[in-house]
Structure 1
């Protein structure tokens, strides 16, 4: 029932996309639903941030948006350079298995696994008894019936109890995304500063080009709900004029009407 409801919502969304631009609809369909639609995802996306990352960056650049283009780009570069240096320094000074919040979750799961009983089924499958319930842990597939092992990609408390019983290292059972080595590789390329504007080698056809501001300015913030489902032509196209109910002509209403009543 839930799948059918999601499918109907999805079809309605694609119809709205087609009304705006059919090329966008064709591109999304050719890319494959598993790459952009959560309902068709082939992997667990329980920890994927639902908000757009661009909204978070826009919040940090709220005041910088009033600057000229060059100053704005320089402010963006400095902001990303600060983030790059901060994350690289944090990763280089991290000597634990994971970084930041994932390491705190790993330690908390280890503390919660102290009073659990582990029963071995085979070399990879184990049953863990805790507070009157039984959980099945598979180290080969990195799964647990509590689902925390699969969602967090960090050994849950039940998997921790199995790892301690078998004297296994916890590192191979954690996702590489949370490890300091992966974070170092992500921020290994520094963001270099721009040269002085007077030293730029700008071609003449670009230097002589005059860029005019847009005719209308979009208001900051998210549009109200009543405007989200409207197409571009409905928002910015020519609007219809109401006709007078007294004389039948357009451009005014019956309160400002100076004509006589229309003859039926």
Structure 2
């Protein structure tokens, strides 16, 4: 907070007075699953910009068509994935694996390990998906410490990732089709 205060005192004061669970993922009561949700309204407004000024019926058809295209593209992307997880998750795992390769691991018991290296030494609990660095519990994606601990006992990295990041979950979330309203004429603004 001192670093934020030195850069922007007003922002630091605002953050101190605001509910910390609203701006800090560590204190959020729910699971965020590595998804940014800030400015979602602006994103939707931008996507619908071309339909502004038309009738409500045209706007609804425009939204249906846009969602149909998005779902179709994501369904095709999910089907074409060559790995267990999305490309973004696989990239994160590869980066974390490179860092993990530089660490040393000391077993504590069957599921807990003391991992030395990186920015800090940590105790990792693979059974409960936790690490002292806090990243594993928040992201639900193994941090470099967890990967080092897992690979030390020959666990495949993908078994350490929360199932919601799997290709199967991705596909199920976008499985539904969005059908057009057949036989209805949508009038455009002239």
What TM-score do the two structures reach when normalised by structure 1?
Answer: 0.57
Q: Is 1:110 equivalent to 2:97 in the alignment?
A: yes
Shift in Å at residue 7 of structure 1? 9.9
The answer for the alignment partner of 2:134 in structure 1 is 147
The answer for the alignment partner of 1:176 in structure 2 is 163
The answer for the alignment partner of 1:61 in structure 2 is 48
CA RMSD, Structure 1 to Structure 2 (Å):
2.6
1:172/1:45 CA distance change after superposition, 3 Å: same
Q: Is 1:74 equivalent to 2:56 in the alignment?
A: no
Larger radius of gyration: 1
Q: Is 1:137 equivalent to 2:124 in the alignment?
A: yes
1:111-260 equivalent positions in 2, closer than 5 A: 111-130=98-117, 133-197=120-184
More contact order relative to length (CA 8 Å, sep ≥ 6): 2
Unaligned runs of 5+ in 1: 11-36, 199-264
State the alpha-carbon separation in 2 of the partners of residues 160 and 131 from structure 1: 12
1:9-20 equivalent positions in 2, closer than 5 A: none
Q: 3-state DSSP class of the match of 2:113?
A: strand
What TM-score do the two structures reach when normalised by structure 2?
Answer: 0.77
Q: How many residues align?
A: 168
1:73/1:58 CA distance change after superposition, 3 Å: same
1:132/1:185 CA distance change after superposition, 3 Å: closer
Q: Is the 8 A contact 1:38 1:45 kept in 2?
A: no
Unaligned runs of 5+ in 2: 1-13, 186-190
1:131-184 deviations in Å (ceiling 9; x for gaps): 584211110111111112122211111111111110112223212221110011
State the alpha-carbon separation in 2 of the partners of residues 192 and 38 from structure 1: 37
